[in-house]
């Protein structure tokens, strides 16, 4: 970790705990800041807040009182999930206080260079691939960000011998000022998180902050097939590297004669790749670009692509019960991800979907729903998804109360050779804390069927 003096004596308000809030509170305390933590959960139910209290951090729990800002804070660090419409955050901005996320601080303190990956879909798969490809290279990769360990925790132990491979969200990127990856990867942009950002334009602009501080010595990797990404990368400093599954690109990764090339160098034949789904080719091309730029060896890239079969919760094969195949795609928190998952199967699909209502309709899903055998729906969006299924002409439409009931209903209604696919097309937060918890609940429910 760099020897940072900037935070000594600075008064910092950390709003919202969870993993990132706890990590950044501890870090700022270590860096000499005067830290005040504010969290919605009451102190008696808040183990994390009590832990911070024991370190000498001031903790205010049970709500977000506006009078907190009567104190002279130099900085606010907010949990990425807290929207900018939150009254406390709005007031802080009105008072001219800088509001950031912990990702900003991670970038400042890290001795290691960073590869940052963003996009609406495919971030975790791409991040994992890059990290695996960079093993056995000159710099040991460290995974960070949304994929697991909080970025500012990893940054504290990273050295110049490492490279941080970091999955970053629009929520995190909005709260950055000087965030500066060595290599930035922007995979794609689809309608998502509009309840948070308001418009697709605002969502895209938040994602594009990944490019904001690049220099001519840095690289940015973009999807040449996504016009939104291309538009948002116009005028960016740094060295442009592209990937495309549709055409040959001169400075990047592409497919020709059933083979992947990077800058006209043959990397691997498609028939050696084990990761399923045509959609994953974009993730693979993006990963090759970033990994090669960071020094990955070709033989390691080939080894990874010949053995890597996927990430948990992303069209993850679970098991076969009585000739029914179960797949967990809990990470599908938007319609596009669900479209992609359904399209990966040739066998009849019974889709389990539903979750948090973000205010959108599901008409864009109708053409893909026409391909499924039936749907089992639950959660806040069940009725909206049911309306889309009816418009698609489906007659097999079942609505249940929760995911456990959905698994049982889908199995009872299935036939041999059916695929039972959890691909919710929605965030998990109506009934679950995270998509991982939702996926684990699905896996447990599936295994309980066999008991």
β-partners of residue 15 are: 38, 78
The pLDDT value recorded for residue 211 is 96
The pLDDT value recorded for residue 133 is 98
Rounded (10°) CA dihedral 89, 19, 176, 125 = -130
**Pairing outcome for strands 324-328 and 316-321:** antiparallel
B/e letters for 154-168, b = 16+ CB within 10 Å, e = fewer, are bbbebeeebbbbbbb
Task: Give residue-wise pLDDT tens across range 147-183.
Answer: 878 999 999 999 999 999 999 999 999 999 999 999 9
Residue 366, pLDDT above cutoff 90: yes
Has 123 been labeled as part of a binding site?
A: yes
- Domain coordinates of the chain in residue numbers? 11-100, 110-305, 316-449
Residue given tokens 């996009």 in the structure block = 119
Residue 84 to residue 80: CA distance in whole angstroms: 10
Q: Is 260 exposed, middle or buried (0-12, 13-18, 19+ CB in 10 A)?
A: buried
If DSSP codes are grouped into helix, strand and coil, which group holds residue 134? Answer: helix
What the block records as the tokens of 239 is 């060295």
How far the first Cα of the chain sits from its last, in Å, is: 50
* Cβ(414)–Cβ(388) below 8 Å: no
Mean pLDDT throughout 302-322?
87
Task: Give residue-wise pLDDT tens across range 397-450.
Answer: 999 999 999 999 999 999 999 999 999 999 999 999 899 999 999 999 999 996
In the DSSP assignment, the letter for residue 428 is S
The pLDDT value recorded for residue 450 is 66
Has 121 been labeled as part of a binding site?
A: yes
Task: Give residue-wise pLDDT tens across range 48-106.
Answer: 999 999 999 999 999 999 999 999 999 999 999 899 999 999 999 999 999 999 999 99
B/e letters for 306-323, b = 16+ CB within 10 Å, e = fewer, are eebebbebbbbebeeeee
| The two domains 11-100 and 316-449 share their CATH topology (first three levels equal) | no
pTM to 2 decimals? 0.78
Classify domain 110-305 by CATH number: 3.40.1190.10
Average pLDDT, the chain: 94
Has 178 been labeled as part of a binding site?
A: no
Largest CA distance in the chain: 66
* Cβ(33)–Cβ(188) below 8 Å: no
The pLDDT value recorded for residue 314 is 80
Assigned architecture for domain 11-100: 3-Layer(aba) Sandwich (3.40)
What the block records as the tokens of 107 is 């970038």
Q: Report the alpha-carbon angle 214-217-221, nearest 5.
A: 60
The pLDDT value recorded for residue 340 is 86
β-partners of residue 120 are: none
Domain 316-449, CATH 3.40.50.720 — does that match? no
Has 319 been labeled as part of a binding site?
A: no
Has 119 been labeled as part of a binding site?
A: yes
β-partners of residue 319 are: 326
């Amino acid at each position: 970790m760099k020897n940072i003096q900037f935070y000594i004596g600075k008064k910092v308000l950390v709003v919202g705990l969870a993993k990132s809030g706890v990590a950044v509170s501890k870090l700022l305390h270590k860096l000499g800041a005067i830290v005040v933590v504010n969290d919605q959960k009451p102190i008696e139910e808040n183990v994390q807040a009590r832990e911070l209290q024991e370190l000498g951090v001031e903790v205010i729990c049970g709500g977000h009182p506006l009078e907190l800002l009567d104190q002279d804070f130099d900085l606010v660090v907010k949990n990425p999930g807290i929207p900018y419409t939150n009254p406390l955050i709005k007031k802080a901005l009105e008072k001219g206080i800088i509001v950031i996320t912990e990702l900003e601080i991670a970038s400042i303190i890290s001795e290691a260079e960073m590869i940052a990956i963003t996009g609406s879909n495919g971030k975790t798969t791409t991040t994992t691939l890059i990290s695996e490809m960079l093993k056995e290279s000159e710099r040991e990769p460290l995974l960070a960000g949304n994929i697991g360990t909080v970025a500012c925790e990893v940054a504290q132990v990273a050295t110049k011998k490492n490279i941080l491979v970091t999955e970053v969200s629009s929520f995190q990127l909005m709260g950055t000022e000087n965030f500066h990856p060595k290599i930035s990867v922007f995979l794609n942009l689809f309608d998502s998180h509009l309840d948070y950002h308001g418009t697709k334009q605002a969502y895209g602009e938040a994602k594009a902050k990944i490019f904001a501080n690049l220099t001519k010595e840095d690289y940015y990797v973009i999807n040449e097939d996504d016009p939104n990404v291309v538009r948002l990368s116009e005028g960016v400093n740094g060295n442009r590297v592209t990937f495309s599954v549709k055409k040959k690109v001169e400075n990047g990764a592409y497919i020709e004669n059933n083979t992947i090339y990077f800058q006209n160098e043959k990397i691997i034949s498609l028939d050696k790749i084990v990761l399923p789904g045509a959609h994953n080719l974009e993730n693979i091309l993006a990963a090759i670009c970033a990994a090669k730029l960071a020094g990955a060896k070709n033989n390691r890239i080939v080894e990874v692509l010949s053995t890597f079969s996927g990430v948990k919760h992303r069209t993850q094969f679970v098991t076969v019960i009585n000739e029914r195949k179960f797949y967990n795609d809990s990470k599908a928190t938007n319609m596009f991800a669900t479209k992609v998952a359904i399209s990966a199967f040739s066998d009849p699909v019974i889709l389990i979907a539903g979750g948090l209502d973000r205010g959108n309709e599901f008409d864009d899903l109708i053409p893909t729903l026409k391909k499924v055998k039936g749907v089992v729906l639950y959660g806040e969006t069940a009725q909206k998804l049911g309306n889309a299924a009816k418009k698609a002409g489906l007659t097999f439409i079942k609505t249940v109360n929760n995911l456990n009931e959905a698994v049982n209903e889908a199995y009872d209604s299935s036939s041999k050779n059916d695929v039972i696919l959890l691909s919710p097309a929605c965030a998990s937060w109506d009934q679950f804390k995270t998509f991982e918890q939702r996926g684990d609940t699905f896996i447990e429910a599936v295994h309980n069927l066999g008991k």
